[in-house]
Structure 1
Amino acid sequence: MVMLSSALLLATVCGRRMYPEGRIVGGEKSSFGKWPWQISLRQWRTSTYLHKCGAALLNENWAITAAHCVDNVPPSDLLLRLGEHDLSTESEPYLHQERRVQIVASHPQFDPRTFEYDLALLRFYEPVTFQPNILPVCVPHTDENFVGRTAYVTGWGRLYEDGPLPSILQEVSVPVINNSVCESMYRSAGYIEHIPHIFICAGWRRGGFDSCEGDSGGPMVIQREDKRFLLAGVISWGIGCAEPNQPGVYTRISEFRDWINQILQF
């Protein structure tokens, strides 16, 4: 029996959906197992762990999220729930798994003022077992800009600004836009924002579809030609939710692949 190296094994399973198809605004409920890398990142609050942000599964030991989700939070206060779909029920085709966080590796250049370098990797105490609703997403090998491609954003964030949190994972599709177009859209909405290449923007000029509070740290994925999904961005910031000319801004993962691969060695 040939043992595959873990990197090779990961390359063969990442970004695939095994399940048959069945801060998100203007989106729709997703079906069970459709986004198997999506994680609910929870933080301890007085008596229980509450959903705070999204995250995405990179391999059996590591997840990725936004640094601002875990800034100044001790790892012992964090819990990752993998394979979750509907927060209100326990009776799903496959159960979710929960993992405590051993290491939080935030990007050393993260700036909480500008949200630049808004990325953190989380190592679990015990590895997770892949199953149809728990599978890793692929990390880009090259720096494609993805402009004009359709990106899919998922999360349990608010359904609209100051609105309710859904119990079922939501999904929305948004087009990736050029950073300078993104800056000019914000300008026309009255905001002067500098959006360097370490960010990637996605959204509609007319608004109506976006990530929202509680989606931060979650994945923005793009489907490759071989039908597998690549992690193009991690939800970082926006102004309001789904407002016209105010697209969502994501940490561009292709810019950080060397840093990610370096940390994953641990």
Structure 2
Amino acid sequence: MLGRCDLPDSSEGLLKIAQVVIHPDFSPGNDFSNDLSLVQLENPVGFTSNVIPVCLGTLEDDPLPSNTTVAVGWGNTESGGSSSSSLLSVAVAAISLEECETLYEGTVIITPVMLCAYSPGKDACQGDSGGGLVRLASDGRWVVVGIVSFGKGCAEHNAPGVYTRVSSFNTWITETVGNATCS
């Protein structure tokens, strides 16, 4: 894990959800395509030096194979373990969809609306689903390029993490929430 961010002890750090919008074409028993939802908060997030926006990734922000990405979440720290009370992050290298398919040996359907990342001994885990896969863009902004979707166990040998490719859904996201700027 690269870092951690402890949850606040007071209620001022709690954010209430106003609405959840599930992608209309998501089918949980299907192939994990369209595996994303949008969460609207009751109140805006107050940005500080420790709380910064992560911008919506575009096609140009998609990682190339071997680019470093960072998966974040409060999930388990090991397969079958307990969830974390701290936000954890781990650096993982993006891999091609072809390599991802090869590593899964045809047991999982990998589609163009997915990203895969793999670094030996590093991975997202159970409970991280819905968390972000982010990377530092060339202009210095952090962008979300993926959403933790699924994998085989946690950090298993030759089992990449599979993420929803955010850039594939930018039109739906902006149609649902409107255009937003990020800096």
Q: TM-score, normalised by structure 2?
A: 0.88
Matched residue, 1:186: 104
Equivalent pairs counted in the alignment come to 177
SS in 1 for 2:176: helix
CA shift, 1:227, in A, is: 2.1
Matched residue, 2:9: 90
Spell out the pairing of 1:65-84 with structure 2 (5 A cutoff): none
- Say which is worse superposed, 210-219 or 140-149, in terms of deviation: 140-149
Q: 2:81 aligns with which of 147, 163, 172?
A: 163
Matched residue, 1:245: 158
Superposed CA deviations along residues 69-96 of structure 1, whole A, max 9, x for unmatched, are xxxxxxxxxxxxxxxx213x628xxx85
CA shift, 1:127, in A, is: 2.1
Distance 1:143 1:255, change over 3 A: farther
Spell out the pairing of 1:221-260 with structure 2 (5 A cutoff): 221-260=134-173
Q: 2:3 aligns with which of 24, 29, 32?
A: 29
Matched residue, 2:56: 139
Runs of 4+ in 1 over 3 A off after TM superposition: none
Counterpart contact for 2:121–2:155, Cα < 8 Å: yes
CA shift, 1:215, in A, is: 0.9
Superposed CA deviations along residues 136-195 of structure 1, whole A, max 9, x for unmatched, are 2111233554122100111221111012323332211111010111010111xxx52110
Counterpart contact for 1:29–1:168, Cα < 8 Å: no
Q: 1:201 aligns with which of 98, 116, 126?
A: 116
Distance 1:144 1:132, change over 3 A: closer
Q: TM-score, normalised by structure 1?
A: 0.62
Q: Gaps (5+ residues) in structure 2?
A: none
SS in 2 for 1:169: strand
Superposed CA RMSD in Å reads 2.0
Q: Structure 2: how far apart are the matches of 1:139 and 1:239?
A: 27
Matched residue, 2:69: 151
Q: 1:217 aligns with which of 130, 135, 146?
A: 130
Q: Structure 2: how far apart are the matches of 1:163 and 1:106?
A: 28
Q: 1:118 aligns with which of 35, 47, 69?
A: 35
CA shift, 1:221, in A, is: 0.5
CA shift, 1:238, in A, is: 0.6
Distance 1:96 1:202, change over 3 A: farther
Distance 1:229 1:259, change over 3 A: same
Amino acid at match of 1:177: I
